Amino acid sequence: MTNQTPHVVVIGGGYAGVLAANHLQSNPRVAITLVNPRPTFTERIRLHQMAAGNYDAAADYAELLGDRVRLVVDGAERIDADIRQVQLTSGDVLDYDYLIYAVGSTGGVPASVPGAAEFAYPLSEFEQAQRLRARLQDVPMSAPLVVVGGGLTGIEAASEFAEAGRNVTLVTDVVGASLGVQARRSVVKALTKLGVTIVDGPDILVASVSATEVFMADGNRLPSAVTVWTTGFGVPGLAAASGLTTDGLGRLLTDEALTSVDDARIVAAGDAASPSGVPLRMSCQAAGPMGVQAANTVLARIAGEKPAELNQAFSGQCISVGRTFGTVQISHSDDTPRRIYIGGRTAAFVKEQVCRATLTFMRKEARKPGSYFWFKGGDRERQIAEARKEAVAR
């Protein structure tokens, strides 16, 4: 490890990590190592398809990573910032000059709901989708299935299972809370057409889960041979365990150049980054551009230049409702929904193209670093000011 050949370690091989690693190749002098616990890339936006049995959701890193990116299949246990080392699960140690923290997000079930940890199936990681898929293969198609959570993951999971012919009930306070009113109606209409029973309302709350039922706080019971849990995303605890400053959820706290507030040689991207304590929505739409911008911050520091601040905007939310229907919510640059949306088969086509494009962009960045582009803007100053004003009000 010398000043002539700076070594950058990227922890996490998801959307942010892969694009960050590939973009680092813009500087031919940089040595790049990507650390990921799995040997293949996980298409998280397709895990509901994997669970339903109509898609694999795994891609070969050999096709996604540039030739100069070294892949280390291992877990990261601790970051020792004082001596610039990453301790790996295998016992090995990686030295680094700069580190990009792109560990992504996790999913689970709340300990506060009795029986959920034992009987419910989360759906946010590859192994969780594998487990759910195996369970569904042992359950008759006519058996009742309950999906808890009406966010985008819950909508896509419920619709995928229903389209396969399963008896699905979706339980939530609001279906598609992040969507506008018109787009939400489009989603509900498509779910209903697929035969999904929707149990929703402001007072809807799951009290407990058993092997055969979901017990509601209002005293009602829903039969459930398989309960799928799609709420409650979190992040790995690596940053906090390493003594780095995090936000309340455990995301690495950074400045607007995505640099850790503790160490200028540690940069974060994706779901586990919290720039100015005002994180972007957890999504591949945010993760990809953040990965490239994190890489640009590292490259700027290597060149002795001042890194640029975060500059990206949202364009919308794409939701598949089975393989046939979909809804595309057009948004303002700050991610708030507009009145405009696209529904039906056209939206399903758009969503599929978006899913395919994520891998296409990675492959292109691997071959031609610097080719990736994204929507810019978003008015971060206003977002940060509003978030701080809300924090004071609470």
**Which tokens sit at 18?**
């892969």
CA distance 115 to 218: 17
Mean pLDDT, range 146-159, rounded to an integer: 97
Q: Is 60 exceeded by the pLDDT of residue 2?
A: no
Structural domain count of the chain: 1
Please report whether residue 56 resides in a domain: no
Per DSSP, helices labelled H in the chain are 15-23, 47-52, 61-64, 116-119, 126-137, 152-163, 181-193, 238-241, 284-302, 344-367, 380-393
**Which tokens sit at 206?**
């799951």
Would you tell me how many other CB atoms lie within 10 Å of the CB of residue 323?
Answer: 17
Please report whether residue 156 resides in a domain: yes
Least confident of 42-46, 59-63, 112-116, 231-235: 231-235
Please report whether residue 13 resides in a domain: no
Q: With cut-offs at 50, 70 and 90, classify the pLDDT of residue 298.
A: very high
Q: Is 80 exceeded by the pLDDT of residue 378?
A: no
pLDDT, one tens digit per residue, over 234-276 is: 999 999 999 999 999 999 999 999 999 999 999 999 999 999 9
> Which three-class secondary structure state does DSSP give residue 66?
coil
Q: Is 90 exceeded by the pLDDT of residue 385?
A: no
Q: Please, what is the average pLDDT of the chain?
A: 95
Please report whether residue 161 resides in a domain: yes
CA distance 77 to 100: 15
Q: With cut-offs at 50, 70 and 90, classify the pLDDT of residue 224.
A: very high
* Model pLDDT, residue 208: 97
* Model pLDDT, residue 311: 95
Please report whether residue 65 resides in a domain: no
Q: With cut-offs at 50, 70 and 90, classify the pLDDT of residue 3.
A: low
Give the residue numbers spanning the domain of 223.
109-173+183-229
Q: How much of the chain, in percent, has pLDDT values that exceed 70?
A: 99
- Exposed e or buried b per residue across 161-177, where buried means at least 16 C-beta atoms within 10 angstroms of its C-beta: bbbbebbbbbbbeebbe
Angle CA 154–61–134, to nearest 5 = 40
Q: Is 90 exceeded by the pLDDT of residue 389?
A: no
CA distance 236 to 297: 23
* Model pLDDT, residue 186: 97
CA distance 146 to 220: 14
pLDDT, one tens digit per residue, over 52-95 is: 999 999 999 999 999 999 999 999 999 999 999 999 999 999 99
> Which three-class secondary structure state does DSSP give residue 148?
strand
Q: What is the CATH number of the domain that holds 114?
A: 3.50.50.60
Query: Which amino acid is residue 359, in one-letter code?
Result: L
**Which residue do the tokens 């959570």 mark?**
149
Q: Do the beta carbons of residue 362 and residue 34 sit within 8 Å?
A: no
pLDDT, one tens digit per residue, over 302-345 is: 999 999 999 999 999 999 999 999 999 999 999 999 999 999 99
Please report whether residue 27 resides in a domain: no
Please report whether residue 390 resides in a domain: no
**What pTM was estimated for this model as a whole?**
0.95
Please report whether residue 144 resides in a domain: yes
Q: Is 70 exceeded by the pLDDT of residue 179?
A: yes
Q: Do the beta carbons of residue 108 and residue 127 sit within 8 Å?
A: no
